[in-house]
Structure formats: structure tokens, C-alpha cells
Amino acid sequence: MTQEALRMALEALENHTAIKHPQQIHYRDKAITAIKEALAQPEQEPVAVVDANDDGYWADILPDRNVKVGQLLYTHPPQRTWVGLTDDEIAQGWKESWVTEQAFQSAVWWAEEKLKEKNT
């Protein structure tokens, strides 16, 4: 996602004040925090661009990769933005469980926070 798209999403979320349900507010605030963290990271610059050899491609040099002419190469792959569960996914999980809705939501939020810490 480009920096401009992230800024637009952040602006939309920050200006969306009509929601009143605590769960919706929680997820909006989590999304705002995630976007701000992503915007704080510098955009990674490519270190090289794949060029064609005499055969027209580099597949013989990197046979285990899908490398195309013109593809940008990075020292590290760009980091993916954290994507949490949607409200519908959480509701579906709760319907399939035997615990109360509040207990299920609390467990999901706890697990998402721990996974985010470990993967960002």
C-alpha cells in the first residue's frame, strides 16, 4: 500500500466519528494505530532492477524465483501491513464457540495483540 493510500485511509478513519459501539471504536482505533505505525516506517528503496541477459531473462540465474525483467529488487522484502480479523470473522468464530461473546472478543483481541507484537 502506498504512503498516499495510507494517509487517505488514516484521514477517513480519524474523521469517522459516527460510530458509537465500543467494539467498532476499538477496531477503528487499532486501525488508526496500525496505519500511523506503517506511515512512520521509511519506504524501502530498491537496490537493483532486473535486466535482460542475452536470452532475454534471468530465470537461469534465479531458477527458484519468478523474476521478471524490470522487477525491482530489495535487500529485504517489503513488510506487509498487519491485517486483523474483521468484525464478521470474530462474530462467526464466536457463533462456533461455547463461550460468551465478551469472553470470545477479549480472547481474540488479546491474541491479535500478541501476534502483532511477534510479527512486526
Per-residue pLDDT tens for 25-78? 888 888 888 888 888 877 766 666 666 665 555 545 555 566 666 777 666 666
pTM, 2 dp: 0.39
DSSP 53-100: -TTS--TTTSTTS---TT-EE-SSPPPPPP----HHHHHHHHHTSSS-
In this predicted structure, the answer to whether residue 91 has a pLDDT above a threshold of 80 is: yes
So what's the pLDDT on residue 89?
Answer: 87
Residue 1, pLDDT > 50, answer no
At 10, give phi and psi (nearest 5°): -60, -45
pLDDT of residue 18: 77
Q: How high is the mean pLDDT of the chain?
A: 76
The C-alpha atoms of residue 27 and residue 20 are separated, in whole angstroms, by: 12
